[in-house]
Chain A
């Protein structure tokens, strides 16, 4: 059962309070007497908060993407003009390419390495806690502090922190954030440092729930460590691996903080991502934002992620069987 199924599983099999009494005819009075008002009261915070700050904005995004809005005059309907405008913006393909590049690099650096680390950690006999704590420590550092700290590390002069260390082994100095080639990988490196620890912990939890008997049986059959990892560990982890992959892709597709704080999308738009482009549309012009373009691009991104997720789930369903 995938995570999705577990979440979708209805609670009908559990008996709730309302099943205990038999209600002959439903009227407002019976509703109130049956505890309907109380239930509603309990739900009020959820309904208010979600209604006002989640569901209503989602609807508004769709509406605003079809309008021209400036906050002074009433909005006018412009059909798909916003979408066309975004599509024809020369920055749009650049942002898409950069976002894909970031997501791809992040997958490359941040996906296999935590797995290897977790497998090694799962076999640590004594004081595994130290490994876990060290791995997770960067995750609790506020992301803004992490980025600003790494910005100092990435000083491109030969006296910069990283360049000094690399200089000890006669490497560098490297331009890091000051180069169109190096900027994005620099961002991914910091992002991996800041986030990989969470993935390690997730993998570790999954690894330690693999049944020992499976390994014992394989050992009896003469399988070595590598074969055990390949034929037992990885298949057992399939579900986790697939879910973390899609979650990581969805997360990195919306990356904003690193490009914004490290480079403002530069140099020369080398680190301009889709989220940063949306931000610039909405908040970049000192005379007022283009909210139509911003919401149109948001929907395009969300639509793409939805389609991608569906394709992904369909493709991996056969591989994630149980």
Chain B
């Protein structure tokens, strides 16, 4: 009897909760509540406070909208679980690589009518806007930020190794030499590369291959052809092999993921590594980096026409089951939180003020979401608040605009990266890796995934 009652109560409660939740989402004319992705779990209290301050400002300006922040971090395995379980917040973030496929599969809400009403809609960089437009031409996501891959280096390790911290390497040969010098003179890792099985290894390898002029795919959609085993990939892997086994300049840890490598860099154990140009924020928020050691430069590019910098970014989307009121509220939030600091002087200053007040970085280099004039203009607005060592990032800021930014492989991006993971790991852990054979296997795996659209 007791057990029956207990079960009945549980079911009843669950139903009640569901009813309330849906009632809230339906939204009376009075108020609508949306949940929004906030910060990576484990972020500092200061970062959390800053976010909540912005939420308060938004709610003040929009009294009919209630915003509920939800800790959020996109990683390949957890996103799938949340998507399947229907527990994503109303407004959530996905990388460029997934946005269009999710839209095509009906897993992102169509925001076109709301987005078109935004005053700055025409100023969007068309390439960036395309990342959030699905095959039917509907806008299913707006860009949060775009980044270009960059070379992060430790200025104090450079000094210790007798290298000029204002002259980071501009060719791969130089990078190799610098890594060797750092390893020899300081005992720390000269150059480190992500090599974990969660697609980050393949992501960075693709970056290196792009910088040598190679490409991983030809064509788009399920008819794309995988070209993982092109000569530039072989060249990139051989370079890695040389640095690892001949020069011994890559340290002793070959399982770094995105978060680990940031942590190790902030702790001063890595001389150089490649990651998105915007990771300084994470270095501050998660690892308390000492700003004076940080240097940012462009990735060395080979001198050929196809060499370029891999660019990526994050899109912000809305759950497909959000009703009209929720969608409108969501776009208002996206406008306020993500876009307006780039297009409205007042918002840019307000945002910068709260960031500074909570000791968060302002002015981390990013790629323009709108045209370059808008980008430069927005930077002048926040100039008085910039608290990141911009002069230590000069090599990147001056170099990046002369380089071509190349989008990530379009078809089955994450699967392409995943099939390269094992190749990178093998090169770094097995001296006798048969690079060509492993690449051919990776290529057929990637081709199969492309054809299935997974």
Contacts and interface: CB of A to CB of B under 8 A. Distances in A.
Q: Do A and B originate from a single complex? A: yes
Interface of A: 41, 44-45, 48, 71-72, 90, 155-158, 173, 175, 177-180, 263-270, 283-290
B287 interface: no
A48 B196 contact: no
Given A41-B1, A266-B255, A267-B426, 4 more contacts: A264-B255, A266-B425, A267-B430, A284-B76
B46 interface: no
Nearest to B428: A267
Contact of A180 (B106, B251, B423, B429): B429
Contacts of B94: 286
A284 B251 contact: no
Given A178-B255, A266-B196, A289 B425 contact: no
A278 to B, nearest CB: 13
29 contacts: A71-B84, A72-B107, A90-B445, A156-B253, A177-B255, A179-B430, A180-B426, A180-B429, A180-B430, A264-B255, A266-B195, A266-B197, A266-B421, A267-B429, A268-B423, A268-B425, A269-B197, A283-B77, A283-B80, A284-B80, A285-B76, A285-B80, A285-B414, A285-B415, A286-B75, A286-B76, A287-B98, A288-B83, A289-B80
B98 A286 contact: yes
Given A266-B255, A288-B83, A289-B80, A72 B414 contact: no
Contacts of A287: 80, 98, 101-102, 105, 414, 454
A178 B196 CA distance: 11
Interface string B76-112: 1101110110000000001000100110011100000
Given A41-B4, A90-B445, A157-B252, A268 B430 contact: yes
A45 B254 contact: no
Contact of A156 (B74, B252, B445): B252
Given A285-B415, A286-B76, A267 B255 contact: yes
Contact of B422 (A44, A158, A177, A269): A269
A93 to B, nearest CB: 13
Contacts of B253: 155-157, 178
A45 B106 contact: no
B197 A264 contact: yes
Given A266-B197, A286-B80, A175 B7 contact: no
Contacts of A265: 197
A173 B252 CA distance: 10
Given A175-B429, A267-B425, A268-B430, A285 B255 contact: no
A268 B84 contact: no
A268 B423 CA distance: 7
Interface residues of B, number: 43
B45 interface: no
Interface of B: 1, 3-4, 7, 74-77, 79-81, 83-84, 94, 98, 101-102, 105-107, 195-198, 251-255, 414-415, 418, 421-423, 425-426, 428-430, 441, 445, 454
B198 A264 contact: yes
Given A283-B80, A285-B454, A286-B98, A178 B429 contact: yes
Nearest to B251: A157
A288 B80 contact: yes
Contacts of A284: 76-77, 80, 418
A267 B254 contact: yes
B16 to A, nearest CB: 20
A193 B250 CA distance: 31
A263 B422 CA distance: 12
Contacts of B418: 284
Contact of B195 (A267, A269, A288, A290): A267
Contacts of B428: 178, 267
Given A266-B197, A285-B76, A286-B76, A48 B7 contact: yes
Contacts of B197: 263-266, 269
B252 A178 contact: yes
Contacts of A155: 252-253
A283 B195 CA distance: 20
Contacts of A180: 426, 429-430
B80 A268 contact: no
Nearest to B453: A287
A288 B102 CA distance: 10
A90 to B, nearest CB: 6
Nearest to B412: A287
Nearest to B95: A286
Nearest to B197: A264
Nearest to B254: A178
Given A90-B441, A266-B425, A288-B83, A44 B3 contact: yes
A84 B125 CA distance: 46
Nearest to A151: B255
In this complex, which of A45, A175, A179, A288 has the most chain B Cβ atoms within 10 angstroms of its Cβ? A288
A45 B76 contact: no
A312 to B, nearest CB: 33
A268 B414 contact: no
Contact of A288 (B84, B196, B423): B84
A291 B439 CA distance: 27
Tell which of B251, B423, B426 has the most Cβ of chain A within 10 Å.
B426
A72 B196 CA distance: 30
Contact of A44 (B4, B83, B196): B4
B134 to A, nearest CB: 14
Contacts of A175: 252, 429
Contacts of B198: 264
Contacts of B423: 268
Kindly name the residue among B94, B102, B251, B252 whose own CB sees the greatest number of chain A CB atoms within 10 A: B252
A124 B328 CA distance: 75
Nearest to B86: A71
Contacts of A263: 197, 255
Ranked 3 nearest A-B pairs via Cβ: A268-B426, A156-B252, A267-B425
A137 B101 CA distance: 49
